[in-house]
Amino acid sequence: MDINELTDRSRKIREKYHRLELKQDGHAWTPEQDALAFLTDAGLVGRLIMAQEGSWPTDSNDPTLEYKIAESIWWLSSLADSQSIDLESAMDKFLKSREEHLDD
């Protein structure tokens, strides 16, 4: 899947969640709430890696590391979209800057 497909699919899923949030909370989540949800999932990625390395207890009902990493990428795509950031362009600029920095 390319980044543009990721963005399009993520946007459609986020729109469905906004409708669910309207039913639940009476309003769609704000970008700040989305960012907090992302940070929560990113923290769970850390816990799941710790569990995989044997330094954190795990439960068979826990989500998988693969799932939480993918969910975190989805959140980042959704956050970029909500802030009118072209994810493909942003990633290209970031990767170029790191490549140039490390090629010294």
Mean pLDDT, rounded, for 5-21: 97
Q: What is the pLDDT of residues 20-36, one digit of tens each?
A: 999 999 999 999 999 99
Mean pLDDT, rounded, for 82-93: 97
Residue 60 has pLDDT above 90, yes or no: no
Q: How far apart are CA 63 and CA 45, in angstroms?
A: 10
Residue 104 has pLDDT above 90, yes or no: no
Mean pLDDT, rounded, for 7-27: 97
What is the reported pLDDT for 62?
Answer: 82
Please check whether residue 75 is in contact with residue 41, taking contact to mean a CB–CB distance below 8 angstroms. yes
By the 10 Å C-beta count (0-12 exposed, 13-18 middle, 19+ buried), 51 is classed as: middle
Torsion of CA 88, 46, 44, 19, to 10 degrees: -10
What is the reported pLDDT for 58?
Answer: 84
